[in-house]
Structure 1
Amino acid sequence: MLSDRKGKQNSSSQNLVRIIRQGYCELGLVQLIISSGMINRLGSVLEEQLSIPTAFIDSYLSAIISYTQLGAIYFSPQLTLGGTGIVAIPD
């Protein structure tokens, strides 16, 4: 999203998003795994630090969660994480 806002093309982050959307890369199938804590942290950063409207944040986070639930193309998700973890990791 930040690369798009800056008008960048083919950045590393944009390529990672493309791979997740496709569900595969040159090495094989790809599964997005993300914790609820990471989703919550992303939402708070988008709201508090970037002043993104709440409606957009909700839609954006919902899309990310959907990619974790879809799993790799033609396969059910192999793993879905929940919770916030034990050790905090700085952004």
Structure 2
Amino acid sequence: MKLFVSTFNVALLVALAYNYVRVYRDLPNPFTMSLVVFTFALLLYALTSNPLAAVVFGFRPAVSIGPFTFLPDLFAAVAVVVLLYQSYR
């Protein structure tokens, strides 16, 4: 489940980052730049929390213990969906 939610977050954050960079090009100001930086920080979080990242870099995947391993990613996904929805309105 964590793999699915983390990968979903990465896909959403790539779309959100693309959208914010496009907005920043049209309207360069500190607020839109902070949205770009915030999105890239979340993207790095999603990439590094993805279980595939450990495997790709040669580490053993961590042993997961129940739903608490993917709940933070699920809450981050909800936040990103809201940001993405608001950015297209």
- TM-score by length of structure 2 reads 0.33
- TM-score by length of structure 1 reads 0.32
Structure with the largest fraction of helix: 2
Relative CO higher for 1 or 2, CA cutoff 8 Å, sep ≥ 6? 2
